[in-house]
Structure 1
Amino acid sequence: MTQVPDRRPVGNQSVPPAKECDPMTGSVAAATQGLRRLVADSPAMSLLRADLLPVTAAVLGTILDNPPVTMDVAEFLERADDALDQLRDMGVDAPQTAQAYLTGWIGQGLLVRQSGQARLETVRLSSSALDALDFLRRLENPQSTVTSSRLATVTTLLERLARAANPSREDRIADLKAQRDAIDAEIARAEDGRFTVLDDDTARERLAEIVRLAGQIPADFTKVSADLELLNHDLRQQIISSTGTRGDVLDEVFAGVDLIERSDAGRTFTAFHDLLNHAEASAALDESVDEILDRPWARDLPVRDREFLRRLLGVLQDDAEEIRRVMTGLSRSLHRFVETHEYREYRRLAAMVATARAHLTSLTATHRPTASTGYHLPATSLAISTIAAWKLNNPDDSRTVAPVTEVPPGELDLAALREQVRASEIDFDELRRAMAATARQLSVFSLADVLERFPCHQGLASVVGLLVLAEGLCRGPGGCTRSRQTEALSWQTSSETVRAMTVPRYIISMVPPEWSSHVPAF
């Protein structure tokens, strides 16, 4: 089940504890309500009651929980595709692609997607997924008996806690002298050759307990990361919701206090990080692992556990550095959130939301939420068609099959070039000569008179050219007036279809004399 960190005082800020109710205590009704919320909201419970529980647990557990790691999305998808193919070969029903399953697992809260180094997206198991996988692993491999190693571990931890928490100086001195006497007696027995070596069964039992406890440490890193992100969210929420210009949390951030580092989770992780990176402690851990795995009774240890112990120090150091980067990033982000006064914009938005909610609350007294407003909101839509209507693109259809032949350059033909230019552009020279010839025949004429005597060789382009020339005559040299009357201008397309359009009637009485002798520029 998802662990929610207890909110304790951060710096000088007293954060009230979360109002959590243990579903297994109190009245039956309260316990039932609590368990209902747990079943509905916990990602771990959604995994445990999923139809594809074996597939999901096997894929996620094999790829990301052996031990818990953070992996690039591309690498995860590749390994997930291979795993799904193996399951399908066994007859397991896994209809979706790895990408589709990844999207679903992220949406269910089983995976956490983050931005890693070099801006690559990474995924890791969420704390809820780790809880669910650990629960399944304990069901698969139950602890059938009460082992002496587990009892010895509990007893040793209790004795150490009692000694460390005892404030009495006399008790501390007496305890240290007792330890010294016990060590001296053990040294004397060792010098005489009178010491006892653990039998193989007890050694294997204690090693299995050590592997079990060590296997929980990498999973704890994921929960620490989730706790730090929750703490960062709570601190930002306190800054936004605090009244007045300043608040206790805001004052401490302005004063340079690292609230995340000084939190319970931050202090606990910092102590663990310092111990893990201590040179002598790390070397001692490596030597102990090598020495234990070389013992004859350790050869029966499963290969998975042997590899886990050999990689334990490296895995812990990598995970610790990742958590350190997360903690540093969150601290810098929180300081930047305050120093750039970004929190003021969020306060303004929070005030606007609160005002809108207050208005809505007052409106509910006079307006029903289901009452018609008379406004129709058009919704966007997506055209859906069958896949049978799709036409696949074949690259070979656009590939040239015939060999490419080289054609030698020919001589330039000015007449042919003139025809190409004439076909691609409006032949204003021809239109000017046509208008000048019409002016010699008629003292006053219109564009329809020009087209009656000189049909359009370029179709619509010729009509557009005549309109441009007539408009130019109205503004410049020549005699031309645009009347309020209209006339129809017709032309014939390349397919011998007659088209017509209605345009203003231009009354032309004179054209520039040079239009009569206008020749092409070639």
Structure 2
Amino acid sequence: MTGSRAETAYARAITAFSTPTLDLLHGRFAPFVVASLTLLFNADRASVAVADAHAELAEVLDELRAAGYDEDDRRLPSGSGRDVCRNWVRLGWLIQQIDDDIEVYRLSAHAVAALEISGRTGGGRTRVSNSRVRTLLDAVEHLSVSAEVDPVRRLSRLQAERDVIDAEIARIQDSGRAEPADDEELLEEAENVLHLARELPADFTRVAESLRAMQRDVVAHLRRDERPTSEVLREYLQRAQDVMQSTPEGRAFAGALRLIGDPERIDALTEQLRGLLDQPFARMLDGTQRAELDAIARRMELGVEEVLAAQRRASHVITGQVKTHDPLRDRQIDDLLRDVIAGLHGWSGPAAVVDPVRSMPLADLGHLRQTTSDIRPPRAPAPLTDADDVDFLDHDTRAWGGPRYAELEEYVAGLGAQFDLAEAFRAVPDAARRPVDLLGLLEIAHRNGLTDGDGISTVEALRPDGTTRRFAFGAVIARSTKEDADE
């Protein structure tokens, strides 16, 4: 009988130590793992981008190695920050997922529990306090009252509770003051509150992980196409309901959700915690305990948010799988992935030889056409419209248009055989003395023939809006007509 009991106890211990939680605490690099996870994650940082986690963990490794912690008994793991994180994912301490199109790490429920155990063990004294015992007795009393079916006994207990409350009210009314408990007792109460609060994150994470596990199971069943889709979805909905009702983690989440669902309640909790930190006994708490006490409300909100996010993600993934479910294509993808994984395993050996890809394969284009259609247009394009026939929208549109060639050519024809281009432009009417008209005059002079003069000429052009602009160019002597240039 003793041997059987011993074997049973030993088997339970083996099972416990085989879990990632105790494996983390019992491992060779346990102090480094606990310290690093504590630095990477906190109540306000439930997830860390993969790239950031790799960089921060590399800095931690460099600092500890520089301090000499890696010299004696190999207390630090080898490899880069990326290698260490990937190993923690494989061991079940970190969860890698996609949040808002960003790849992130999250603590697994096992890692959260291990950090909670480590913090509770190394964070100070653990004692059988009045607060701890009273919490247990109150819980048993509440359980007993809730399970009571005899109305006489239940009324008797409720009457006793009311008598105690009435006596306290009368004492305060008579004395005019409330006597708080001494600081030592209040400190015990605060430590008990912190002890209870540390257990919540692991519960929330377990609920989120159970939802992710259900998501993977449902998608796997849909991809195998072994049962009708409606049957798989009904099973998923039933399991999701069971998670919230039949497990301690689910009930803890449901209770927290009711609390967070009442804004006044969570605001009151936040104000109560801040008020406690202002009390004299709070000075007896260390900095870590004060921070934990202040973060209780935020920790509960983050836990609920994590579970709801996992639930939304599971619904989104399952909905997408149902909409795009194609058994034939899924099997082809599965076969392709298996072939790729098998090929990678074949390359992973130390003596494996991989032939390099020296050229890309050529595409089989088949028979190309050897003739093309006539690219010439079927008829000649219509002649351009004569400028005199163009109707402008209004005078302002024409004023901002190109050079007035007709007016400039008529003007140049009356200037004689030769003329100085700058002097000629200065005498042009204001309507044709725009910057573009200067270019038009230069074009006409170049067409008829011109010679370079001495010095630099400057002219002032007038825009249609009344603004002016000065131009400088080498002096030009132009001919008025092309016939003169040919003589």
- 2:204 and 2:303 in contact (8 A); partners too: yes
Partner of 1:137: 119
Q: Which residue does the alignment assign to 1:323?
A: 307
Q: 1:43·1:110 contact (CA, 8 Å) conserved in 2?
A: yes
Change (3 A) 1:176 1:344: farther
Matched residue, 2:95 = 112
Cα 1:145–1:315 change in 2 (3 A) is closer
Q: Residue 290 of structure 1 aligns with which residue? A: 274
Matched, 1:216 2:191: no
Query: Is 1:232–1:260's contact at 8 Å kept on the other side of the alignment?
Result: no
CA gap of 1:276–1:100, structure 2 versus 1, over 3 A, is same
* Equivalent residues in 2 for 1:218-297, closer than 5 Å: 218-233=201-216, 250-251=233-234, 257=237, 259-263=239-243, 264=245, 266=250, 268-297=252-281
3-state DSSP of counterpart to 2:199: helix
Q: SS at the partner of 1:197?
A: coil
Hey, what's the Cα distance between the residues in 1 that align with 2:128 and 2:16? 31
Q: CA deviation at 1:113?
A: 1.0
Match in the other structure for 2:464: none
Candidates 40, 49, 53, aligned match of 1:72: 49
Alpha-carbon separation, structure 1, partners of 2:29 and 2:225:
45
Confirm whether residue 188 of structure 1 aligns to residue 170 of structure 2. yes
State the AA in 1 paired with 2:53.
F
Q: Deviations over 1:347-391 (max 9, x none)?
A: 9999x9xxxxxxxxxxxxxxxxxxxxxxxxx9548899xxxxxxx
Cα separation, 2, equivalents of 1:336 and 1:58: 39
2:24 partner letter = L
CA distance in 2, matches of 1:169, 1:270: 29
Which one of the candidate residues 99, 102, 121 is aligned to 2:85? Answer: 102
CA distance 1:342–1:222, change in 2 (3 Å): farther
Mapped contact 1:111–1:129 kept (Cα < 8 A)? yes
Q: 1:66 to 1:59 in 2, by over 3 A?
A: farther
SS at match of 2:284: coil
The aligned residue for residue 419 of structure 1 is none
C-alpha change, 1:153 and 1:243, in structure 2 (3 Å) is: same
Write the distance in 2 (CA, Å) between the matches of 1:233 and 1:141. Answer: 37
Does the 8 Å contact 1:68/1:218 carry over to 2? no
1:158 has 2:174 as partner = no
User: What stretches of structure 1 of length at least 5 have no aligned partner?
Assistant: 1-23, 353-377, 385-522
> What is the one-letter code of the residue matched to 1:274?
R
Give, in whole Å, the separation in 1 of the partners of 2:348 and 2:316: 43
- Match among 15, 35, 43 for residue 20 of structure 2: 43
1:236 positional shift: 6.0
Instruction: Measure, in 2, the Cα distance between the counterparts of 1:42 and 1:121.
Output: 26
User: Where does residue 91 of structure 1 map in the other structure?
Assistant: 68
The alignment's TM-score, normalised by the length of structure 1, stands at 0.55
User: What is the aligned partner in structure 2 of residue 179 from structure 1?
Assistant: 161
Structure 2 residue matching 1:323: 3-state secondary structure: helix
Which stretch has the larger CA shift, 236-245 or 182-191? 236-245
What is the match of residue 55 of structure 1?
32
- How much identity, in percent, do the aligned residues show? 27
Q: 1:128 aligns with which of 97, 110, 114?
A: 110
Where structure 2 has 5 or more consecutive residues not aligned to the other structure, the ranges are 71-75, 336-344, 352-487
Distance in 1 (alpha carbons) for counterparts of 2:30 and 2:117:
13
Q: How far apart are the structure 2 equivalents of 1:175 and 1:345?
A: 66
Amino acid at match of 1:272: A
RMSD over equivalenced CA pairs, Å: 3.9
SS in structure 2 opposite 1:192? helix
Partner of 1:489: none
- The match for 2:373 is none
Closer/same/farther in 2, CA of residues 271 and 340 from structure 1, 3 Å limit: farther
- The 8 Å contact of residues 219 and 318 in structure 2, kept in 1 or not, is answered as yes
TM-score (norm 2): 0.58
1:385-434 deviation digits (Å, cap 9, x = unpaired): xxxxxxxxxxxxxxxxxxxxxxxxxxxxxxxxxxxxxxxxxxxxxxxxxx
Task: Give the Å deviation of 1:63.
Answer: 2.1
Q: Is the alpha carbon distance of 1:68 and 1:148 closer, same or farther for their aligned partners in structure 2, counting shifts above 3 Å?
A: farther
